[in-house]
Amino acid sequence: MPVLLVTYELKNADQDYSTFRSMLHSYPWIKLSESAVVLDCADSPEAFLESLWPWVDQHDTVIVFGVGSPWAGIGSAEVKAWLKERLK
């Protein structure tokens, strides 16, 4: 399954980011940190970023990576199981 890593820094306190977050959460996803999630998505990183662009501020930072195997990490059993299942 294609997996994307989305990292972000949302800088505009006056911006409504609810649609941005809803879009992230519309895919099977798991949180890696306060500002990073991985999700199942067949889109390319470029296409996925394009779909997010209307919902962020021009001063925000959003970076999207395609993720593959092999991988390594320290973290919760839940995160490692999620990744192990999808990154074979």
The vertex-27 CA angle with 26 and 31, nearest 5°, equals 100
Single-letter residue type at 15? Q
What distance in Å separates the CA atoms of residue 1 and residue 21, rounded to the nearest whole number?
22
Question: What's the pLDDT tens digit per position in 22-60?
Answer: 999 999 999 999 999 999 999 999 999 999 999 999 999
- Does residue 21 surpass a pLDDT of 90? yes
Return the beta strands (E) in the chain as ranges. Answer: 3-9, 29-33, 36-40, 61-67
Task: Count other Cβ atoms within 10 Å, centred on residue 64.
Answer: 21
Q: Domains in the chain, start-ordered, CATH in brackets?
A: 3-86 (3.30.70.240)
Taking the complete model, does pTM exceed 0.85, yes or no? yes
Average pLDDT, the chain: 94
| pLDDT of amino acid 88 | 82
